[in-house]
A and B are shown apart, each in its own frame.
Chain A
Amino acid sequence: MTHKDYSHNTKIATLKASSSLNKGYMVFLIPGVLLFLLIIVFPLLANIGLSFTKWSGVGTPVWVGFTNYMKAIRDSYFLTSFKNALLLVITVTTIPTLIGLLLAGFIFEYILDKFGRGIAIFFRVGFYLPQIVPIVVVGIVWRWMLQPNWGVLNWSLKAVGLDTLTRSWLGDTSTALPSIMMMMIWFQIGYPLVIFIAALQRIDPVVYDAADLDGASRLQRYFYITIPLIRPEIFVVVLTTIIYTLKTFAQVYVTTKGGPGRATIVPSYFSYQNFFIRSRVGYGATITTVLTIIIGLVAIGFIRMQIKQEQEG
């Protein structure tokens, strides 16, 4: 942004003007802040408070101090839920991001040149389409496809003679979580793809001149120059995907409800069970408090890392 040089007088006038402007603007903050305090801050604090109580949801909560937290550390469901969340984060963040990077490059560098804008847009739209659909519906569609006896996947496997590969995808402890991962990856690919394509569009082609002169191949150019240049976008994609994945709920609710056994239990769903089905509101609050703290730490850690990188780079 270019800064214009004001003359001395105008500067003073501007300063005076801005300080009176400043006060007036506070008013516009009030509705947002009030609503925010009411809808976000108050419940958050109440939730943290509830995590120290034992409560069935009706009547008065009973203060129990750190009992819930102690219980959580020893609860295999609690620990497994976070383990599953970690596994989900790792797969659902890295794989779609990598695929997104590769596909973006492919579409931008190759398809765009060879086949023109129309086809490129078709690809971009096609990959992004799942993101438009409610995650609930995605879960339903995948559950339908993974039905063990008549679902599309097993049917297809049988049709090509791969009977032995058929599984009870959502019902088998070893394949349940991977199935959900597949579903989430399918859902998620469009997001990094679209962001990276836009990122590629903002790169000034001048940057590539030196590389082209050196005779670098397109592939080399992409990996060594382009990708480092779009680091800000990669950062945003990774951070937002991690946070989103840590909050997984509807995917599990609509398919396996945490089963079989503990194979697909995740913190959000586990807290839901405790809040609403097992009437252990205090314990549910404990789970969500821990989850919030973890998300907060991840976010802060990431942002710090990025600020550091920006300073260095």
Chain B
Amino acid sequence: MGYVIMVPGLAVQGYLRPSAARLRAEGHEVDLLPPIGWPESGTDLDGYAARIVRHAERHGPVDLLIGLSVGTQAATLAAAGTGAVRRLLLISPTIDPARRSTAAALRAWSRGEQHPDSPRLSVQAHDWVRAGPTGIYRGLQSVIMMRLEEELPRAADPGRPVTVVHGEADQLSPLPFALDVAGRAGARMLIIPDAPHSWPIGDGDRFAALVSDLIMEPGYGRMPAREDVTSADRGR
């Protein structure tokens, strides 16, 4: 089993708790970090990535750093800044060039998705209140111009395995962007049938199987046994 850090999307975290719990049930140690936009995380992408680096170096090495949506950008910057991350998994990468303006990003987000597994508004609203409009707006401004396609090759450069995931039904992060990002970084690209942008919500089985596969992949050295680590934000 491995040590996993999950970096959620902009100003939301609750929708990922069942996924994190599922990984823990499989025997993984999982830290689900607070999202960018919340008061404890701040709204600056570089600062947020630096926090992830500190967390990884304090508690790691990390078998798998998982970024989701906007969290893919933070996870990429963090991985590029530390050797404590062994493997990177980016799910529904953002933000593609066509949406790199406030209006375009909000337009895409407001259209939402019709997928039955997409997060319920009540779950998201609770998290948005915690961020507040300022936290959401500033967080968005910070991530909007970051070019993932240029940063990811740096994160993958030292031979770190990277996997990019796109959900078949994702309406927010276009497939060509995910393929472009993966292609430039020499990353493995996976497409999940019948999965929305917010995957792995509602799909614990496939998520747990993917994480275990990545951590156990042949040729990838298992991490040594780690000291037991305690942390207020580890949620175990």
Partners in one complex: no
Q: Which residues does B use to contact A, with CB under 8 Å?
A: none
- Residues of A at under 8 Å CB distance from B? none
